[in-house]
Amino acid sequence: MIYLVVLIIAFTGIFALYFLWAGYRLKQWKGKYSPINYAQNYDAITSSYQFLSFASKAPFNPDDLQYDKQNNLWKSSMLECADKMKAGGVTDVLFVHGTFVGDDPFDIVHLIHSVIPALGDTASNYLKAGIKNSNNLWAKDLGNFTSEYLSLFKEATQNYFLVDSFDWSGANHHLARLKASVDLVKKISSLINNSSGAQKKFLIIGHSHAGALFALLTQALSSKRCMNNFINVLNKAGHDISKLREDIALMSHHKYDIVTLGTPPRYPFAISHQIRILHMINHRGEKPIGGSLLGVLNTRDGDYIQQWGIAGSDIISALGIDRQLNGELVSCLGEGADLNFWMQNMKHQRRLHDQGHHLLIDYKNSSSIPNCLLTIFGHGVYTKYNSMLFNTQQITNHFY
C-alpha cells in the first residue's frame, strides 16, 4: 500500500511539473502557429441522463480472482447478463484502457526512436512492453483492465464472446489519440476478417480517454468533414494508414455498442443506426454537473479527472513535429494544451457529453478522510474487480 501511495504521489508531481512546462512551451509555440479555434460547447445540456447508486447484489471475493472461487450468486448474475448480451447479438467484447496506463504515456519511447532510428521496432516494442508491465504492476485494477479482469469476465460470461483488449500509448494529446484510433480500427478490422464474414456486433468498453478514441472511431465511420485533415496529419506523422479507408469500409457493415467509463466530455461522437453510446460516470450530487474543488480531497462529488480532462488539458509532446501536428488538429478537435482555455472551461463544471445517454452513478467511494490519491481522484473505481458485475448489469439493462 505504501508503495502504491508513493507511486501515485510521484506520478501526480510529474504530471504537475509537466503541465507547468507545457504552459511555458505553449506560449512560445503559439507565436509561431495560429490555428482555427474550435471551442467545445460546455454550456448547454443536450443529452439524456439518469442518477443511479452502486449496489452490489452479490459479494465478490477479491482474495482469489479465479472464477470458481466466486460466490454462486455472483456467477449466476454474470451468466444472466451474458445471456442477455448473447440474445442481443453481441459477438465480441473489447476492453480499452485510458491515459497514462499505456505503453508510452509520456512519449519516451517515441522520443528515443525519433532520435535513434536505428533502435528499430523490435527494441521499441520491448521498451513499450516493459512500460506497460510496470503500469500494470502499480495500477492493478485501479483505472486499468488487467489480464486477470479479462480472464474473469470471459469465464463469467461462459466464453460466449471473443473477449479481448486493446493497448495504446496512453499519451495525453490529440495526435496520440488519433494514432491510437487508427490502430483500433486495424484491431477491429482484423477481428472481422478472422470471423469468416459473419455479422459482428462489438461491445466496446473503454476507461477515461479511451472514450476519445471511440469518438474518433465513430467520426471515421460517419465520414465527417475532418477525415481528410486526419489523414493528412497521419501521413505527416509517418503513421501507417495504407488500409485505413478499406478497413473503415469493412467496419461499416457491422454494429457497435460503445460504453465509456469516466470519459471527459471532449470529442463529439457520431451516432447512427450502427452505433449506440452509453456513458457511465462516477458522480455524487443532485445536478448533472461536476464537483467543487472543496470536495476533491475525499472525492466528495465523484470523478474529478472526468471533469478535468476537457479541452485545454493536454500535455505538450516533447517532439517538435508532434507539437506542430497537434496544432493542425485543433481546428477539428479543439484546443489541446492551453492552460488559460482549460481554466475557463473548468468554470462550467461540465459532466455530460453532447451525444449518448449518461448513467451518473454514485460508486460509494467517497470518504471522511482524504482518499483522492488512492482513488485517482475518483477516476479509478470503474475497473475495480468488485465493479464488474454492477457495470455489466447496467450495460445489459440499457442495451439488451
CB 95 within 8 A of CB 165: yes
Q: Give CA–CA dist 98/142, Å, rounded.
A: 11
Give the pLDDT confidence of 270-287 residue by residue, as tens digits.
Answer: 989 999 999 999 999 999
How confident is residue 36, by pLDDT bands cut at 50, 70 and 90? very low
Give the pLDDT confidence of 130-141 residue by residue, as tens digits.
Answer: 999 999 999 999
pLDDT of residue 40: 53
Give the pLDDT confidence of 43-82 residue by residue, as tens digits.
Answer: 667 799 999 999 988 999 999 999 999 999 999 999 999 9
What is the torsional sign of CA 369, 373, 374, 376? positive
CA distances from 260 to 48, 356, 386 (A): 15, 10, 18
Q: Model's pTM, two decimal places?
A: 0.90
CA distances from 258 to 96, 113, 251 (A): 11, 34, 14
Give the pLDDT confidence of 200-254 residue by residue, as tens digits.
Answer: 999 999 999 999 999 999 999 987 668 889 999 999 999 999 999 999 999 999 9
Nearest to 142 by CA among 24, 3, 250: 3
3-state secondary structure of 32: coil
Nearest to 303 by CA among 185, 382, 215: 382
How many percent of the chain have pLDDT more than 90?
Answer: 82
Per-residue pLDDT averaged across 156-160, rounded?
97
Least confident of 35-39, 81-85, 314-318: 35-39
